[in-house]
Amino acid sequence: MGIAISMTVNGAAVSAEIDPRTLLVDFLRVNLGLTGTHVGCDTAQCGACTIHLDGRAVKACNLLALQANGAKVTTIEGLAGNGDLHPMQAAFKECHGLQCGFCTPGMVMSAIDLVQRHPGADEATIRAQLEGNLCRCTGYHNIVKAVQQGAAAMSR
């Protein structure tokens, strides 16, 4: 009943034989041990599982691993290069855009995608674009600031 898949995850080629009903998020967390991608709701509402699939932000709890066959996947673990934080990660730290940290990986992945789609977004746009990511700790105030600061750093 196993089915073979292969994809590139954080720059490395991976392949495995999996139960066809395996969700992408479970494949990343269980098969690959990439536990930075979180599951907060199982219904594609909270956004904690957001990753990049071929450069686009997607919710990994709402995709089968099979649907990512042959794709290029980036998770939160793949953002920091050579030990340096990605500018968006650095902005979240600098602006105190995280508290418990559970929504944070998904929030950061969404924020990067947001900035790529809306460079120079204003506050209203940022808030509207973060609609798919729930945070219960920060009240979003410092997340919005972090996205603005991260966007500025990414454009440099």
State in angstroms the smallest separation of the CB of 71 from another protein.
19
SS3 for 85-111 is CCHHHHHHHHCCCCCCCCCHHHHHHHH
**Candidate segments 28-36, 52-60, 62-70, binder of another protein by CB under 8 A:** 28-36
Q: Is 27 in the site for another protein (CB under 8 A)?
A: no
DSSP 62: G
Coil vs helix vs strand at 140: coil
Q: For residues 70 and 141, which CB has a smaller minimum distance to another protein in the complex? A: 141
Q: For residues 71 and 89, which CB has a smaller minimum distance to another protein in the complex? A: 89
Q: In what side-by-side order are the strands of the sheet with 50-53?
A: 12-18, 3-9, 72-74, 50-53, 56-59
State in angstroms the smallest separation of the CB of 88 from another protein.
9
Contacts (CB under 8 A) with another protein, residues 122-141? 123-124, 126-128, 130-131, 133-141
Of the candidates 66, 85, 121, 153, which one interacts with another protein according to CB under 8 A? 85
Coil vs helix vs strand at 123: helix
Shortest CA distance to 49 belongs to which of 133, 147, 138?
133
Of the candidates 50, 74, 104, 149, which one interacts with another protein according to CB under 8 A? 104
Of the candidates 9, 36, 112, 149, which one interacts with another protein according to CB under 8 A? 36
**Rounded to the nearest 10 degrees, how much is the dihedral formed by the CA atoms of 90, 134, 132, 79?**
30
Residues near another protein (CB under 8 A) = 19, 21, 29, 34-43, 45-46, 48, 75-77, 79-80, 85, 89, 92-94, 96, 98-105, 108, 123-124, 126-128, 130-131, 133-144
